[in-house]
Chains A and B, each alone.
Chain A
């Protein structure tokens, strides 16, 4: 075995140029697949960071506007109150997000204002400082608010120092009682979370002025029953508006599902591209090996004339293919990881703020599996062809 290995190594080394050419396709193919994998994972990781914007315990429900918007699909506070009394529902609040100009001290910023109920489970992020809006605040219509980390940074303030200070929101004001934790950023640069949260009772009085409602946010008791509850609420709203409209519920799992689907498609496409490029690389290897057999016909003839058996030629060519494959795949894996790491740590992190660990194990496994497949699938035939050559004809070959 060692002998064959050494002989194969020496043949590959002696024919450096041919070896390099054979390696090139393989290295590029494997490197591409692994780099794409790293990047795919980085992107997926970055996207999943976005999910943290939504509370795990609530869902929002609104008219399905796919077939156009109809004002008759809007519902009332009475409907929301009825939803609040449904089983598994802790609280249902009228929901809306309104862009406002907010001012704290001398700083102003454009922020989103939204209502929340008297339960910290409405919050998508934990609190860094202060407290949440309480049920007492809701009941008393207390002018308090909780700020997101984004609001704090836009107001160019220190989160802790803002507690207890007054925030002016258009013509109203509120006392800042809490500041939320900075969510992990994701590649979806869409911010699901509002910047200023005030008791929904206050929101209703100051912003809604008795208008009909487009959206309600529902806090559920048992999140494992969320889908069933969503169905019940949807059915209720449907019948409450005369069975003419349909409603859609969205929660963090549904968004995760959308993203999963999107990742699924991305990874499928990436996988397909990878598979194709690997097959192309494999055929390239076979081609080089076959060409090298034609080129080496005389050499094979000499080896056979000297007394090499068929099996010895076969094993030797097989070893050459295996060495090529192992070397090419290892090099490709290393380059792929390097390229993936570089793009990940220099570019993707800037967009997403997320850095994913390199898939070492996967890369090594892929390289090994592919090396084996290449050797078996694309090395066997050329090796067989070489072994089957007739020595006299091979020697006569010019």
Chain B
């Protein structure tokens, strides 16, 4: 995908939220690297800074200090427009709540990033349909989010995240709103994508879910406290791929 050494390289990243006189140190100096093609889970108790880290990695937010190399390029000091461009070209974000546009069909949802990238309508739709096929939803292309199950909605969201062929796929609790069977579907999709070389970073509270990743970063109070392979051996899904 790219010849730079790491997909992600963060050094001493901190994030401090100030609301009035109150300061919250959500990240207190986080450093790690993630190579291309890795599949990493981030775990940790509530409030430990997982979402904050994901927002920084996803270029939705800026670190208070520290440096962040994404796909070999320093993105720490970029302005809003440049960050938007990075999100558009290099990152795919998947949310716990799917965040699809309501009353808008699957193809249109998936094609949305291409719209902002200035791709013409026909190519957009073709690419979106191809991506929907990739996540196994060809037959639901014209359905609207409220006509889809939670798992299907999340797969539409994944297709949308992938449609720009991003360097990194970021997922903040992607199975948080799903039952275990649907979660398994999403996880097997992730495993397949990772098998095809996609870099995936996923936040989860569930050890079972985390066990599908090949590496687990554990956070506590705004710090990464452990970095190791998953505790339990990978489940059936992984062996299948």
Q: Chain A: residues with CB nearer than 8 A to chain B?
A: 3, 6-7, 10, 14-15, 298-299, 301-312, 391-392, 395
A301 to B99, CA, bound (A): 9
Residues of B within 8 A of A301 (CB): 99
What are 25 residue pairs bridging A and B, where the CB atoms are less than 8 Å apart in the complex? A3-B115, A3-B118, A3-B120, A3-B121, A6-B121, A7-B115, A298-B99, A301-B99, A304-B84, A305-B58, A305-B93, A306-B88, A306-B93, A306-B113, A306-B116, A307-B84, A307-B88, A307-B117, A310-B80, A310-B81, A311-B81, A392-B60, A395-B60, A395-B95, A395-B99
A298 to B101, CA, bound (A): 9
Range of interface residues on chain B? 20 to 34
Residues of A within 8 A of B55 (CB): 392
- Given A3-B115, A7-B115, CB of A306 within 8 Å of CB of B160: yes
Residues of B within 8 A of A312 (CB): 116
A96 to B118, CA, bound (A): 84
Q: Is B89 an interface residue (CB 8 A)?
A: yes
A18 to B: closest C-beta gap in Å: 10
- Given A310-B81, A392-B61, CB of A302 within 8 Å of CB of B101: yes
Question: Can you name the residue of chain B whose Cβ is closest to the Cβ of A299?
Answer: B101
Q: Which of A6, A10, A309, A395 contacts B84 (CB 8 A)?
A: A309
A167 to B164, CA, bound (A): 99
Residues of A within 8 A of B80 (CB): 309-310
A7 to B55, CA, bound (A): 27
A311 to B104, CA, bound (A): 22
Does the CB pair A310–B84 fall under 8 Å?
Answer: yes
Q: Which of A3, A307, A391, A395 contacts B113 (CB 8 A)?
A: A307
List 5 additional contacts besides A3-B118, A305-B99; criterion CB under 8 Å.
Answer: A10-B108, A305-B93, A310-B81, A392-B60, A395-B60
A391 to B59, CA, bound (A): 10
Most buried by B among A6, A304, A306, A309: A306
Q: Is B155 an interface residue (CB 8 A)?
A: no
A21 to B: closest C-beta gap in Å: 16
Residues of A within 8 A of B100 (CB): 302
B44 to A: closest C-beta gap in Å: 19
Chain B 84-95 interface 0/1 with A at a Cβ cutoff of 8 Å (1 = within) = 111111010101
Q: Chain B: residues with CB nearer than 8 A to chain A?
A: 55, 58, 60-61, 80-81, 84-89, 91, 93, 95, 99-104, 108, 112-113, 115-118, 120-121, 160, 164
A395 to B98, CA, bound (A): 11
A72 to B: closest C-beta gap in Å: 86
Does the CB pair B160–A15 fall under 8 Å?
Answer: no
Question: Can you name the residue of chain A whose Cβ is closest to the Cβ of B108?
Answer: A10
Residues of A within 8 A of B99 (CB): 298, 301-302, 305, 395
Does the CB pair A309–B103 fall under 8 Å?
Answer: no
B91 to A: closest C-beta gap in Å: 8
Residues of A within 8 A of B103 (CB): 14-15
A298 to B145, CA, bound (A): 15
B106 to A: closest C-beta gap in Å: 14
Most buried by A among B80, B89, B160: B80
Question: Can you name the residue of chain B whose Cβ is closest to the Cβ of A6?
Answer: B121
B50 to A: closest C-beta gap in Å: 14
A14 to B144, CA, bound (A): 11
A299 to B95, CA, bound (A): 13
B14 to A: closest C-beta gap in Å: 17
- Given A309-B85, A310-B84, A391-B60, CB of A303 within 8 Å of CB of B108: no
Does the CB pair A307–B85 fall under 8 Å?
Answer: yes
Question: Can you name the residue of chain B whose Cβ is closest to the Cβ of A3?
Answer: B115
Q: Nearest 8 pairs between A and B by C-beta?
A: A307-B88, A307-B87, A309-B84, A14-B103, A308-B116, A302-B99, A306-B113, A309-B81
Residues of A within 8 A of B112 (CB): 303, 306
A391 to B121, CA, bound (A): 25
Residues of B within 8 A of A303 (CB): 112, 116
Residues of B within 8 A of A310 (CB): 80-81, 84
Residues of A within 8 A of B108 (CB): 10
Residues of A within 8 A of B160 (CB): 306
A10 to B144, CA, bound (A): 14
A391 to B84, CA, bound (A): 10
A307 to B118, CA, bound (A): 12
- Given A302-B99, A392-B60, CB of A307 within 8 Å of CB of B115: no
A304 to B121, CA, bound (A): 20
A357 to B: closest C-beta gap in Å: 44
Residues of B within 8 A of A395 (CB): 60, 95, 99
Question: Can you name the residue of chain A whose Cβ is closest to the Cβ of B84?
Answer: A309
Residues of A within 8 A of B164 (CB): 307
Residues of A within 8 A of B93 (CB): 305-306
Does the CB pair A309–B60 fall under 8 Å?
Answer: no
Question: Can you name the residue of chain B whose Cβ is closest to the Cβ of A13?
Answer: B103
Residues of B within 8 A of A7 (CB): 115
A237 to B: closest C-beta gap in Å: 82
Residues of A within 8 A of B104 (CB): 10, 14
A387 to B: closest C-beta gap in Å: 10
Q: Which of B61, B87, B102, B121 contacts A306 (CB 8 A)?
A: B87
Does the CB pair B116–A305 fall under 8 Å?
Answer: no
Residues of A within 8 A of B118 (CB): 3
A302 to B58, CA, bound (A): 13
A304 to B113, CA, bound (A): 10
A180 to B146, CA, bound (A): 78
A205 to B17, CA, bound (A): 107
B5 to A: closest C-beta gap in Å: 25
Residues of B within 8 A of A298 (CB): 99
A304 to B58, CA, bound (A): 12
Residues of B within 8 A of A15 (CB): 103
A299 to B85, CA, bound (A): 18
Residues of B within 8 A of A305 (CB): 58, 60, 87, 93, 99
